[in-house]
């Protein structure tokens, strides 16, 4: 039974409303002044309170403030004199859900109460069926409570103090770079952490990026340039996507690891290599060795200590803490106040495949946060279909299987752009092309139109 509390000093009105609401099946309590009203408010825990502004002694606005201070439950409708604009505004600011003017019209009162009760019901449903996000933002930390993640953290602790090469492998977006940075932080905080993505740099520039070059070493080398290995000093060099390192550079690299020194391109001087090497790959180097794509001797040198990061779908216990962490962070970044995830949504997150792993989760949540206007994370229906990527909705080929290479390329680029949430940097990384190349292809294929059609997509 719904409970209503009436606080008004107009005795005849209160008596009429009492009869009216009893007739409608409410449990009614009534008071003619604020103090008694507040007492009943505490005792009866009403769903709705009708509160007159003008009361003898403590007025209605004060009573409302007291009730809010004490966190008393119930939705409050203020009853004000027609002209009293100021009291109306102040009541709403103090947390009344609505107001009615005297003389009361029972039809408008009915409509209003129905609206309020429907809203309460919806709210109760959300509260029952949602998970409260705990405020837990920890920047640059490895989040997760699965056994697999705890093992990774233990591995980091074991290896951080020893100057050995670490090979970090895992699918795209699983957190390889985060692990590398964490090892570096433990090992040599304050020293440089120099990252180089072997897939993002064309092979004839890669050598000079790594080792540097002397002036005049090749056309265009107008001055001496230090390579990443030299810049790292006694910090760490992070070689990302090691599987993409061309074979001829693999040979040079092996020599560096054996001799602990190298020369700049076009130079003769031996430069000592003192940094720690951290290597990441999302390709299976062992099978690449078997097919000749990767040098076995180099592989064994790199594999001194291996950290394998499992795909997110194999450690679903990590999804909720990760989501909470991202939501806490994005509440600040995007000026949102999301505190609840509907359980239905949480289940969908746990059932989904996550081909893009943690990065995909982060991108997906960012979109959801942008769409969310209340404290509840908003669900885009297409995300609730299990095991189907919301970003892989590239157009279906009309003539199945009979596509041109260009069409394939266009679809593939679009798919990756959608998967990264339109982030050019990440897209270049995954596709292994440079930014100018990506831009040109986006232009040539008219992909901007598709992306603009995707609402609220992210662009770096």
Residues near Mg ion (CB under 5 A) are 177
Q: Which is nearer to Mg ion, 41 or 238 (CB)?
A: 238
Chain residue at closest Cβ approach to ligand ATP: 175
Tokens read off for 227: 């390579």
The rounded distance, in Å, linking the Cα atoms of 95 and 401 is: 61
Q: Which is nearer to ligand ATP, 359 or 415 (CB)?
A: 359
- Dihedral of the alpha carbons of 101, 105, 108, 110, in degrees to the nearest 10: 120
Q: What residues have CB less than 8 Å from 73, skipping those under 6 apart? A: 45, 46, 47
Q: Are 76 and 49 in contact (CB under 8 A)?
A: yes
Q: Which is nearer to ligand ATP, 52 or 318 (CB)?
A: 318
User: What minimum distance in Å lies between the beta carbon of 299 and Mg ion?
Assistant: 19
User: What minimum distance in Å lies between the beta carbon of 369 and ligand ATP?
Assistant: 15
Please give the angle made by the CA atoms of 325, 326 and 327, to the nearest 5 degrees.
Answer: 90
Tokens read off for 184: 């570096």
Q: Which is nearer to ligand ATP, 63 or 322 (CB)?
A: 322
175 binds, among Mg ion, ligand ATP, none (CB under 5 to 8 A by kind): ligand ATP
Please give the angle made by the CA atoms of 171, 177 and 180, to the nearest 5 degrees.
Answer: 120
DSSP labels for 358-377?
A: HHHHHHHHHHHHHH--SSBP
282 binds, among ligand ATP, Mg ion, none (CB under 5 to 8 A by kind): ligand ATP
Q: Where does 6-59 have alpha helices with state H?
A: 11-23, 34-44
Q: Are 101 and 81 in contact (CB under 8 A)?
A: yes
144 binds, among ligand ATP, Mg ion, none (CB under 5 to 8 A by kind): ligand ATP
Q: Which is nearer to ligand ATP, 358 or 442 (CB)?
A: 358
User: What minimum distance in Å lies between the beta carbon of 176 and ligand ATP?
Assistant: 3
Q: Which is nearer to ligand ATP, 322 or 414 (CB)?
A: 322
358 binds, among ligand ATP, Mg ion, none (CB under 5 to 8 A by kind): ligand ATP
Q: What is the DSSP letter of 30?
A: E
Q: Which is nearer to ligand ATP, 34 or 417 (CB)?
A: 417
The rounded distance, in Å, linking the Cα atoms of 89 and 212 is: 68
User: What minimum distance in Å lies between the beta carbon of 70 and ligand ATP?
Assistant: 40
Chain residue at closest Cβ approach to Mg ion: 177
User: What minimum distance in Å lies between the beta carbon of 34 and ligand ATP?
Assistant: 51
Q: Which is nearer to Mg ion, 76 or 431 (CB)?
A: 431
Q: Are 319 and 361 in contact (CB under 8 A)?
A: yes
368 binds, among ligand ATP, Mg ion, none (CB under 5 to 8 A by kind): none
Q: Which is nearer to ligand ATP, 151 or 177 (CB)?
A: 177
Q: Which is nearer to Mg ion, 169 or 207 (CB)?
A: 169
Neighbours of 398 (CB within 10 A): 7
Applying CB under 6 A, the residues found at the interface with ligand ATP are 142-144, 170, 172-178, 240, 280, 282, 322, 358-359, 362, 429
Q: What is the DSSP letter of 265?
A: B
> Which of these, 409, 407, 406, 442, lies nearest to 424 by C-alpha position?
442
285 binds, among Mg ion, ligand ATP, none (CB under 5 to 8 A by kind): none
Neighbours of 41 (CB within 10 A): 25
Q: Where does 212-306 have alpha helices with state H?
A: 228-231, 247-259, 285-290, 296-302
236 binds, among ligand ATP, Mg ion, none (CB under 5 to 8 A by kind): none
407 HSE (CA, 13 A, CB side): 10
173 binds, among Mg ion, ligand ATP, none (CB under 5 to 8 A by kind): ligand ATP
User: What minimum distance in Å lies between the beta carbon of 355 and ligand ATP?
Assistant: 11
362 binds, among ligand ATP, Mg ion, none (CB under 5 to 8 A by kind): ligand ATP
Q: How far, rounded to the nearest angstrom, does the alpha carbon of residue 270 sit from its chain's CA centroid?
A: 46
User: What minimum distance in Å lies between the beta carbon of 180 and ligand ATP?
Assistant: 8
Q: Which is nearer to ligand ATP, 176 or 228 (CB)?
A: 176
DSSP labels for 149-181?
A: HHHHHHHHHHHHTS---EEEE-STTSSHHHHHH
User: What minimum distance in Å lies between the beta carbon of 176 and Mg ion?
Assistant: 5
Helices 405-419/435-444 angle, 10° precision: 120
User: What minimum distance in Å lies between the beta carbon of 438 and ligand ATP?
Assistant: 15
User: What minimum distance in Å lies between the beta carbon of 157 and ligand ATP?
Assistant: 15
User: What minimum distance in Å lies between the beta carbon of 180 and Mg ion?
Assistant: 8
Tokens read off for 311: 């795909």
172 binds, among Mg ion, ligand ATP, none (CB under 5 to 8 A by kind): ligand ATP
């Amino acid at each position: 039974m719904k409970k209503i509390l009436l606080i008004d000093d107009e005795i005849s009105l209160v008596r009429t409303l009492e009869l009216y609401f009893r007739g409608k099946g409410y449990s009614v309590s009534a008071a003619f002044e604020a103090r008694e009203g507040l007492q009943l408010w505490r005792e009866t825990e009403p769903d709705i309170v009708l509160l007159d502004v003008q009361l003898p002694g403590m007025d209605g606005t004060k009573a409302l403030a007291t009730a809010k201070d004490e966190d008393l439950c119930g939705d409050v409708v203020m009853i004000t004199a027609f002209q009293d604009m100021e009291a109306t505004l102040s009541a709403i600011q103090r947390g009344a859900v609505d107001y009615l003017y005297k003389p009361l019209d029972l039809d408008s009162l009915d409509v209003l109460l129905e609206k309020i009760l429907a809203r309460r019901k919806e709210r109760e449903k959300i509260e029952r069926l949602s998970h409260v996000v705990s405020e837990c933002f920890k920047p640059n930390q490895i989040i997760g409570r699965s056994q697999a993640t705890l093992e990774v953290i233990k591995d980091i602790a074991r290896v951080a103090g020893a100057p050995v090469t670490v090979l970090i492998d895992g699918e795209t977006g699983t957190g390889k770079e985060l692990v590398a940075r964490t090892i570096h932080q433990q090992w040599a905080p304050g020293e440089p952490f120099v990252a180089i993505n072997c897939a993002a740099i064309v092979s004839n520039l890669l050598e000079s990026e790594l080792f540097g070059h002397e002036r005049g070493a090749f056309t265009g080398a107008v001055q001496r340039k230090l390579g990443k290995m030299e810049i790292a000093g006694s910090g760490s060099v992070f070689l990302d996507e090691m599987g993409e390192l061309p074979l001829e550079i693999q040979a040079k690299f092996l020599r560096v690891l054996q001799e602990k020194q190298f020369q700049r391109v076009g130079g003769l001087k031996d430069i000592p290599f003192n940094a720690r090497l951290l290597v990441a790959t999302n390709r299976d180097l062992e099978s690449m060795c078997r097919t000749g794509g990767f040098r076995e001797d180099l592989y064994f040198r790199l594999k001194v200590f291996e950290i394998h990061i499992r795909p997110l779908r194999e450690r679903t216990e990590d999804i909720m803490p990760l989501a909470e962490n991202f939501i806490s962070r994005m509440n600040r970044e995007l000026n949102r106040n999301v505190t609840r995830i509907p359980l239905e949504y949480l289940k969908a997150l746990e059932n989904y495949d996550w081909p893009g792993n943690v990065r995909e989760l982060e991108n997906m949540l960012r979109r959801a946060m942008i769409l969310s206007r209340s404290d509840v994370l908003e669900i885009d229906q297409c995300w609730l279909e299990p095991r189907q990527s919301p970003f892989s909705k590239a157009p279906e080929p009309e003539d199945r299987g009979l596509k041109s290479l260009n069409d394939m390329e266009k679809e593939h680029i679009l798919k990756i752009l959608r998967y990264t949430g339109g982030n050019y940097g990440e897209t270049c990384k995954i596709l292994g092309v440079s930014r100018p190349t990506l831009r040109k292809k986006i232009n040539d294929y008219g992909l901007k139109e598709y992306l603009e059609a995707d609402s609220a997509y992210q662009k770096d």
